[in-house]
C-alpha cells in the first residue's frame, strides 16, 4: 500500500532544498535533514538541531524509511548475508564480505531479475519489481547500523539481485546519494556497477556518474553466450563490446570483464584464446569466477587445473587476470546464489 508520506531518502539535496523552501523553511534546513538521514536517524526527534515545530511538521509530511531485517546469516569465512523484507512483502538480499582491512557490501537493485541467466538462482524467480533509490540506499544504512568497529565499510558493488542498468533511474539517484558529500560520501573509486550487458545504457552510465564498470561476458562467442545468457539475443557480444569501447573510461582505470567458468560449456583453451582476442585493445582486467554449484542448477565448476589453465592463457596475452574466490557458499551468499525467498 502506497504511503502518503514523502520518503525523504528519494530526494537529492537540490530537490530537498526546493521542497523545504515550498514549506516556508530556509534552504539550509535541507542540509540539516540530509546530515541526519545518512547518519541513520530513525526518528525526527533525533534531529536535535531542527526546531521542534518543524520536526512535528515533518512527521506529518514525511517518513524516515528503512528496511526490515528478516534474517541474518553468518558464513564460516566471515561473510554475512542480510535478507530484508520490503514494505510490499517482497524480499531482497545484501552480502557483507570481509577483506583484509575493510568490508565490501554487495547490493541488490531489483527484487528478482528478468535477465534469465541460466547459471543464476536469482533469475529463476523472474522479476518481482525494481527497487526504489531509498531501498537501495537503505541496504547500506541497515548494514552500517549492525557493524562493529573492527573494519570500515569501504567498497560497494552492485552485484546482488537484479540487473542494475534495468533499473537505471533509481540506480543513478541512489549513486548520487551514495557518492555525495551530503549523502553517504563514498569515493567513486570504491563503487562498482556490474551489468550483463544492456549495451545502450553502458556509455550513458559513464556519462551520468563516475563508477567502476564490470561487464559479465561469460562466453567468447555468441552461440555459447546466448545459450547461457538470453540477453545476448538482444545485445550480442559485438554490441556489448562496442558499448564498452564507447564507455568514457577515466585515465588509469580499466573495465572489468567477469567470466563465470562452467565445466564443459565455456572453459576450453580455445575459448580462453578467443576471449583474449575479443578483448584486444581494451584497458581491461578479467575476473574468473568458478561456478558456485547448486542442486537446482544444471552446471558444475571446472577443476582447479582447468581454471588455472584458462587463467594462464589470458595472462600470456598480457591481461591482468584474477580468480575470484567465492565467499559465503555455505549460506548461499556467493555469486549467483541470492534468492531472497521468504518462508
Residue found by looking up cell 523545504 in the block = 20
Q: Which residues are catalytic?
A: 93, 335
- Per the CB < 8 A criterion, the answer to whether 106 and 139 are in contact is no
Q: Residue 215: which residues within 8 A CB-CB, separation 6 or more? A: 194, 195, 196, 197, 202, 240, 244, 255, 256, 257, 258
Q: How far is CA 84 from CA 78, 120, 123, in A?
A: 19, 20, 18
- Per the CB < 8 A criterion, the answer to whether 266 and 226 are in contact is no
- Per the CB < 8 A criterion, the answer to whether 270 and 230 are in contact is no
Total residues belonging to the chain? 343
Of 168, 83, 179, the C-alpha closest to 122 is 83
Amino acid at each position: 500500500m502506497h504511503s502518503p508520506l514523502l520518503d525523504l531518502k528519494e530526494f537529492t539535496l537540490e530537490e530537498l532544498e526546493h521542497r523545504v523552501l515550498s514549506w516556508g523553511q530556509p534552504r539550509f534546513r535541507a542540509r540539516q535533514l540530509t546530515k541526519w538521514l545518512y547518519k541513520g536517524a530513525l526518528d525526527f526527534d533525533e534531529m536535535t538541531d531542527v526546531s521542534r515545530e518543524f520536526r512535528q511538521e515533518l512527521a506529518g509530511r514525511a517518513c524516515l524509511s528503512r528496511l526490515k531485517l528478516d534474517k541474518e546469516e553468518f558464513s564460516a569465512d566471515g561473510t554475512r548475508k542480510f535478507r530484508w523484507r520490503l514494505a510490499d512483502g517482497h524480499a531482497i538480499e545484501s552480502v557483507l564480505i570481509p577483506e583484509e582491512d575493510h568490508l565490501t557490501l554487495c547490493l541488490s537493485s531489483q527484487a528478482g531479475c528478468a535477465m534469465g541467466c541460466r547459471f543464476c538462482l536469482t533469475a529463476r524467480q523472474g522479476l518481482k519489481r525494481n527497487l526504489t533509490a531509498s531501498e537501495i540506499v537503505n541496504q547500506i544504512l541497515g548494514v552500517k547500523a549492525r557493524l562493529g568497529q573492527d573494519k570500515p565499510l569501504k567498497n560497494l558493488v552492485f552485484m546482488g539481485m537484479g540487473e542494475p542498468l534495468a533499473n537505471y533511474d533509481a540506480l543513478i539517484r541512489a549513486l548520487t546519494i551514495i557518492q555525495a558529500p551530503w549523502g553517504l560520501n563514498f569515493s567513486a573509486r570504491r563503487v562498482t556497477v556490474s551489468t550483463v550487458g544492456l549495451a545502450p545504457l553502458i556509455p550513458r552510465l559513464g556519462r551520468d556518474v563516475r563508477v567502476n564498470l564490470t561487464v559479465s561476458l561469460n562466453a567468447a562467442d555468441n552461440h555459447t553466450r546466448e545459450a547461457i545468457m538470453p540477453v545476448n539475443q538482444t545485445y550480442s557480444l559485438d554490441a556489448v563490446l562496442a558499448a564498452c569501447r564507447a564507455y568514457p573510461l577515466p585515465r588509469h582505470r580499466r573495465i572489468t570483464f567477469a567470466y563465470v567458468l562452467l565445466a564443459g560449456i565455456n572453459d576450453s583453451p580455445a575459448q580462453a584464446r578467443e576471449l583474449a582476442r575479443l578483448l584486444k585493445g581494451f584497458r581491461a582486467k578479467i575476473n574468473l569466477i568458478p561456478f558456485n554449484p547448486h542442486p537446482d542448477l544444471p552446471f558444475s565448476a571446472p577443476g582447479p587445473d582447468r581454471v588455472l589453465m584458462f587463467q594462464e592463457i589470458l595472462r600470456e596475452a598480457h591481461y591482468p587476470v584474477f580468480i575470484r574466490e567465492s565467499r559465503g557458499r555455505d549460506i548461499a551468499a556467493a555469486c549467483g546464489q541470492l534468492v531472497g525467498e521468504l518462508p
